[in-house]
Amino acid sequence: MSLIQLKDNIGGMRSLQTLRDVKIDEEVGQIEKELGKLWHIRDLGLTNVGEESGSALCSSLNKMKRLEKLSIIAKSKNEVIDLQDLKKPSMLRKLHLHGKLYKLPAWVPDHDSLVKLVLSGSKLTDDLLNSLKDIPNLLFLSIINEAYEGENLDFQSRDFEDLEELELGSFYRLRSITIHNDALPSLKKLLIRDIPQLKMAPFG
């Protein structure tokens, strides 16, 4: 459903814990002001999110102290999801970000409650794995749809020691994946798909 239809009363649903697949419409200020009243939300999914709504959205999210799962989908592949003002959601366990990012939120690399991270279309160019490798309890990682624009993914020794599932896919610049000895020691499932420049599967 569209949040625009609920703008006059959504904030009154004080006991609501799950709100998924909600499309953010044009009147972002009023809508996100109402979102900030939903203090008990544990599972929130938003779509059609534009960069212009970043500050108001972060302000609302910062009030959700019980948030365990967050999914944000940008309105287009070139639209930036601006989370620079988002403070660390202490109870967050699952984070899905579908859209271009300036950079990862600063709290992601050392978030000790985060067990699942999905990055799609992020178009990050920094050493992405170096930023993610030490997330203490990460079990599932999906990096897909040009989330990373480098030519190599290099899993160093002792990286991602607790990770059980890894998905890599839809990269059109990536040429190699290197997995060193003792990297990914707990991995149970590996999915590699749609990487046309990749000439061979990684060793190890």
Question: pLDDT tens-digit profile of 138-185?
Answer: 999 999 999 999 999 999 998 999 999 999 999 999 999 999 989 999
Q: Tell which wins on pLDDT, 28 or 155.
A: 155
**How far are the Cα atoms of 11, 15, 50, 67, 98 from residue 6, in angstroms, in the given order?**
9, 16, 19, 21, 24
CA dist 8 and 5 (Å) reads: 8
Please answer whether residues 168 and 201 qualify as being in contact, where contact means their C-beta atoms are separated by less than 8 angstroms: no
| Long-range contacts of residues 106-111, Cβ cutoff 8 Å, at least 24 apart | 108/132, 108/135, 109/134, 109/135, 110/134, 110/135, 110/136, 111/135, 111/136
Give yes or no for residue 30 having a pLDDT over 80: no
CA dist 78 and 121 (Å) reads: 9
What ranges make up the beta strands (E) of the chain? 18-23, 43-49, 69-74, 94-98, 116-120, 140-144, 152-155, 165-169, 176-179, 189-193
The reported pLDDT for the residue numbered 22 is: 81
What's the predicted TM-score (pTM) here? Answer: 0.92
